[in-house]
Amino acid sequence: MVARKILENLDFRIEEAEDGQKALEACQRRMPDAVLLDWNMPVKNGIEFLKDLRATPDGERPIVVFCTTEDDLAHIQEAISAGANEYIMKPFDSEIIQSKFSLAGLL
């Protein structure tokens, strides 16, 4: 994944979770600095994950960036109201990733 490569180059240590529930548990064990998430994830989707994350102690802290094929205004608005910092619509290229990460304050 392009995003993963770029983050690794920025010296982020990466952990992956296979569904929204496991991602939330991982965050509760150890709060990350940033979360990159898809809208469509098994068990708990991106928006449910984000709401739960923001309600977790210290869960306000991570910078959250959606990275998804959902590209209509309604989805984006919902993500931002739920507390996402940035939103990347697929398809994207590495320049978009760089631009969005710097807008989100990760660069």
Partner 1 sequence: MNVSDFEMISRLVKERSGLLLTEDKAYLMASRLNPVARRHDFKGFDELAKAVRLHGDEGLLRDVTDAMTTNESFFFRDAAPFDHFRDLILPHMLEHRSSQRSFRVWCAACSSGQEPYSLAMILKENEAHFAGWNIEILATDLSRAILFKAVEGAYSQFEVQRGLPIRLLIKYFKKDDDRWRIDESIRRMVTYRPFNLLDDPSSIGQCDVVFCRNVLIYFDLPTKSAVLDRIAGIMPPDGFLCLGGAETVLGVSNRVRVMPGLRGVYGLAEEGSGDLALAAG
**CB of 10 or CB of 43, closer to partner 1:** 10
- Region near partner 1 per CB under 8 A, out of 6-14, 21-29, 33-41, 81-89: 81-89
Closest CA to 84 of 40, 44, 35: 35
In this structure, what DSSP letter does residue 83 have?
Answer: T
Helix-strand-coil split of the chain, %, nearest 5 = 45, 15, 40
**CB of 43 or CB of 80, closer to partner 1:** 80
User: Taking a C-beta distance cutoff of 8 angstroms, is the pair 73, 79 a contact?
Assistant: no
**CB of 40 or CB of 102, closer to partner 1:** 102
Residue 2 as a binder of partner 1 (CB under 8 A): the answer is no
Question: What is the C-alpha R_g of the chain?
Answer: 13
- The residues of the shown chain that bind partner 1, judged by CB under 8 A, are 71-73, 76-77, 80, 84, 86-89, 91-93, 95-96, 99-100, 102-103
